[in-house]
Structures are given as C-alpha cells and as structure tokens.
Structure 1
Amino acid sequence: MNPPRDRRTHAVQAEALYLINLLLAPGLAFLVLLWLARRHRASVNPLTRSHLRQTLTVSVWAGLLLVGVPAIIALVGNLDHPATWIVLLLYVLCCHATLVLLGVLGLSRAIAGETFVYPLLGSRKW
C-alpha cells in the first residue's frame, strides 16, 4: 500500500473521524477510527501517531462523559423532578459542545501539520 503524499493525511482523518463520532455517526465512526489506529499504530510519522492516540483516548473519555455521567445523574436524581432534567440537559449540552470545540481545534492543528494534546483528557505521551 502506498503511503500518502501529505504527512498530514492520517492526522486529519483521525480528527475528522473523532468529530463524525460526536456529531453524525456515533459508534460507527469510532470503529473506523479504531481500524485506522490499528492500521497505522507503527507509523514513522509522529503527527499521525500523535493525532491517532489523542483521538482514540478522547473518544473513549467522550463516551464515558456523554453516556456514563448522564446515566449516573439519571439514577441518582429523581426523573420526576424538573431540576434533574435541567441538570441533565445542561450537563450534556455543555460537555458535548466542549468536546466538539476541542475536536475542531484538533482538526485545525492537524490541517496545519501540528501536534495537539486535548486539555485534561488527552494522552500526554506519543
């Protein structure tokens, strides 16, 4: 298989799949991202390795934050009370919006050919 001409190709693909996972096709895009990471895990390109590791790590965290935490809020809170729904809605909206904005920032860094570490959630070593 021929390597891409541009060293940014796989980094941009990883970041785009992260955003697709959040916005359009959750789960399916994550599986494609896993496939891409497995295929290029031994890449000599540090930009590819960095963005693949970051997007995989943050995708797992995003799943926990967007599914696990709301489930805990729903279990702990009383769903008959409007306050529980307000907390649940505010949490999901703020968390999702933050993850999307960080994904857009990661995508812009990948397009620029720069590495990116997601704040708080990203893997520090690559």
Structure 2
Amino acid sequence: MATELAEAERPRAIGAHALYLLNLLLLPGLAFVVLWWCRRHWAVAASAALRRHLDQAFGAALWSGALIVLVSLLLVLLGGLQQPATWVLLILYFTVIHAALVLLGAYALSRAMAGLPCRYPLPGLWRQP
C-alpha cells in the first residue's frame, strides 16, 4: 500500500528529485554528492514515504550515471573513435537515454510535489521496501 508524504516532508522529497535532475542537467557529480549527503542525513528521522523518495532518487542517479557513462564508453571501445558509425550511435544513444532519464525525473518530481509515491522503472528500484 502506497502512503502519501506528510506535508512537512514534501520539500525534502522535492529536493531529492530536483537534485537528481540537477545532476543530469546542470551540475553532474556535484549534485550527486549533495544527493548522497541528503539521503544519508535526511533518512535518519524520515517516514517510510520520504525514505522511498530518497532511495528512488539516489538509485536513479546511480543508474543514470551507469547508463550514460558505461554504455557510451562501451560504444566507443567497440566501435573506435575513428568510425563515423560510432559517433552516430553515440550521439543517438546519449540523446535518447538522456532525454528519457530527464522525463522520468520530471515525472518523479511532479509526484513528489503532489505528495504521492513514485518508482523509477529501473532494475532494483521497482520493488517495494
């Protein structure tokens, strides 16, 4: 059964998903470290609903980094930097996966603003704790 966020916890849930988007769009790495810190310190006295939001945002940030960096590196290693097809695939992959991850983050942010639970459709993040 999904529980709604308490009114007092909404700003933290919103902040977690905003940091996820900030990590993808403006400050990669730095926003991730802040999100990690927030998850670590805010979850201590948080309700289960807020903890779920924090875990979802952090887990999605980990998956986003892996999907963007590791798959891009794999494409380069397999294709080589001198091949035009590698660049076409790399640009296409990065554009599509980045856009999809941003849309998922915007959806999660809207759910947090409404005080509703949200789960990213990424492996390991869809199970209910």
Scaled by the length of structure 1, what TM-score is found?
0.91
User: Which one-letter code corresponds to 1:23 in the other structure?
Assistant: L
Range with bigger deviation, 72-81 or 110-119: 72-81
Q: Identity over the aligned pairs, expressed in percent? A: 46
Note the C-alpha offset of 1:5.
6.3
Q: What is the number of residues matched between the two proteins?
A: 123
Is residue 124 of structure 1 aligned with residue 127 of structure 2? yes
User: Do the aligned residues in 1 keep the contact of 2:7 with 2:115 (CA within 8 Å)?
Assistant: no
CA distance in 2, matches of 1:64, 1:51: 20
Match of residue 26 from structure 2: 24
* Aligned counterparts of 2:29 and 2:46: Cα–Cα separation in 1: 28
Q: How far 1:79 moved relative to its partner?
A: 2.0
**79, 103, 123: which is aligned to 1:77?**
79
1:123 is displaced (CA, Å) by 4.6
In the other structure, the counterpart of 1:55 is 57
Contact 1:8 1:47 in 2 (8 A): no
Tell whether the 8 Å contact from 1:47 to 1:113 is kept in structure 2 after alignment: no
> Which ranges in structure 1 are unaligned for 5 or more consecutive residues?
none
Report the CA distance between 1:78 and its aligned residue.
Answer: 2.5
**Residue identity opposite 1:30 in structure 2:** F
Aligned counterparts of 2:46 and 2:89: Cα–Cα separation in 1 = 45
TM-score for the superposition, normalised by structure 2: 0.89
The aligned counterpart of 1:15 is: 17
**Contact 2:63–2:122 (CA under 8 A) maintained in structure 1:** no
The answer to whether the 8 Å contact 2:20/2:105 transfers is yes
